[in-house]
Amino acid sequence: MTNSGYRLHGSGVHHPLGGGRRTALRSVAIILARYQLRKLKRLYSEFDHDMMLPMLLGEIALYNIGVLENGADPRFDPVGDAFIGPECALRPCNAYSIAAATGLPRETVRRKIGRLVELGWIERSDNGQLCVSRKTLEHFGHILQSRDLPELLEIAERVRVLVERPAERTG
């Protein structure tokens, strides 16, 4: 047995998973790659052909909505209740924290944030605090519910069937 968990047997290397399981995992990888590619193409179109914009917007949004993970009122509606500006109900962040989270140069992040502000996707307070805009919450909340979430749930079901099928045959 090697350190990677593969067994050496004779002259060949055998994978620890059975052949049916390997085939299922290969199919899962292809399904997920197709989903990711479709998603990247959509983002490319939605963000003026600049792939850094959705990445930065995503980091800002995830930082902002972190307040919801930590015991916020479950009745809090991030679209209706978020006050954008110096008293943002979401957890604001700044360009420095986003640069640190992404590993991108601060100047690049600062410039791209400027573009996100121009597009109306984020709001920047006078002290440089960043919050996603109501426009962003409404737009992506709608897309998540109408297109992305149902597509992801359908893919999850297909993956579940593929992964369980070999187990049923062998188990």
Ordered by where they begin, the domains of the chain are: 19-170 (1.10.10.10)
Which residues does the chain have with pLDDT short of 50?
1-17, 75, 81-86, 170-171
In 3D space, the residue among 132, 44, 51, 46 whose CA is nearest the CA of residue 85 turns out to be 132
pLDDT (0 to 100) of residue 139: 79
**Entry field: residues in the chain:** 171
pLDDT (0 to 100) of residue 8: 39
pLDDT (0 to 100) of residue 42: 87
Are 124 and 130 within 8 A, CB to CB?
A: yes
pLDDT (0 to 100) of residue 162: 80
pLDDT (0 to 100) of residue 16: 46
Residue ranges in the chain assigned as alpha helix (H): 19-46, 52-69, 78-81, 95-102, 106-119, 134-143, 149-170
pLDDT (0 to 100) of residue 84: 43
State the pTM of this model: 0.67
